[in-house]
Amino acid sequence: MIADKKKFCRFCFIKYDKIHLKNKKKCPSNDKCVGWYSTDHHAVFCSERVKGMARNLFLPKIDQNLLQRFIETFDIEEQFSFGLSSQNAQKYVSLKNIKLTKSFSDGNEDTKKPLTSDDIIVVICTLGIYSTNKKEIVFKEITSMKAFWKVRILHIGTLDLSVHELSQLIGSYTKKIIIVKISSNIAFAEIIRNVPNIEILTVFDKSWISKQTTWLEDLYKYKEGKNFRELLIHLNNIEFDAETLKKFVKTKSINGVIIKIRYENRKKQKAFRQFVDKMSEVFIRKYDEFSHIRLEFEGIRDYKSFYFKHEKNEGPLLKKRKKK
């Protein structure tokens, strides 16, 4: 089929770097992937994924009253999958009207229109929270069980959420996070633990990462699969563990990974040059447009680029980015 050749699902059009057909038992880039029906290969509520989930839901042998209560603990998508699995299943699950919407932004009145509906709303692609005063809109819908967030992309202007609140917005299906500022006490590890399949992470806050002394170890520990693509962070401290970064790039990233680490304090340029020498012992001192680690001072042309060469056939390939 064309979809198989082009490496995308013909139902939800999620594109994948390598073909992962139903008869293949192992995911080519994530050894913890739960199967063909996972969010690595499909959008939530994709019909192919729903069928796969229905076949793999575990139902214990308990009486009908307990079964009803057990099913109520299911995620909204699992309940929907179970409800469609058979006529008998619909005795336990009320199939309410579910309306899928691609995006929601607290600053865009058009995207908020679906929330006025009487249907259950599921946002399946992008969630934008740009105003700290308007985050209540999102959590009001969560507590009312009227809206569910299954977003692949999360944009946050100022992150002032607790771990529990954040965990209601993101999950294994989240691939990209962009955060401008962080004002909560949330730890880097708590974010990555909630998004094990993260591929792109951008944090513009200029001081937060530096307070997270184990950020690189946490990224290596909690990131699952071998599909990480892009990282952009700001650091106050010049040095970090280059060997851990090498392990991360080698075991958790695609061949075309791009990592940018920005520094603010120009008085540390001497320490920067000393660290560049240490980096040169671990990585190749070379600029590659499509795959590189770049250390740079913001606002001035003082930067150094490094390259890590994957072994042949190591990690999924990424098509070269087109020049804009």
Instruction: Report pLDDT for 156.
Output: 92
Mode of pairing for the β-strands spanning 228-235 and 176-182 = unpaired
Helix (H, G, I), strand (E, B) or coil at 253: strand
Is the pLDDT confidence value at 323 over 80? no
Instruction: Report pLDDT for 316.
Output: 45
What rounded mean pLDDT belongs to the chain? 81
Domain ranges (residues) in the chain: 2-91, 152-306
Which of 112-126, 246-260, 298-312 is the most confident on average?
A: 246-260
Q: State both tokens at 289.
A: 């447009």
CA distance readout (Å), 54 to 46, 86, 290? 12, 9, 40
Of residues 21 and 245, more confidently modeled: 245
Query: Residue 102, Cα to own-chain centre: how many angstroms?
Result: 16
79 and 93 Cβ atoms separated by less than 8 Å: yes
CA distance readout (Å), 185 to 159, 161, 190? 10, 9, 10
Helix (H, G, I), strand (E, B) or coil at 28: coil
Q: What is the percent of the chain with per-residue pLDDT over 70, rounded to a whole number?
A: 79
What is the pLDDT averaged over residues 11-21?
67
Q: Is the dihedral of CA 21, 22, 26, 30 positive or negative?
A: positive
DSSP 100-167: EEEEEETT-HHHHGGGGSSSEEEEEEEEEE--GGGHHHHHHHHHTTSEEE--SEEEEEEE---HHHHH
Is the pLDDT confidence value at 320 over 60? no
The Cα 125–Cα 110 span in angstroms is 16
Residue 180: pLDDT band with limits 50, 70, 90: very high
Q: Is the dihedral of CA 144, 147, 149, 155 positive or negative?
A: negative
Q: What is the percent of the chain with per-residue pLDDT over 90, rounded to a whole number?
A: 35
Instruction: Report pLDDT for 175.
Output: 93
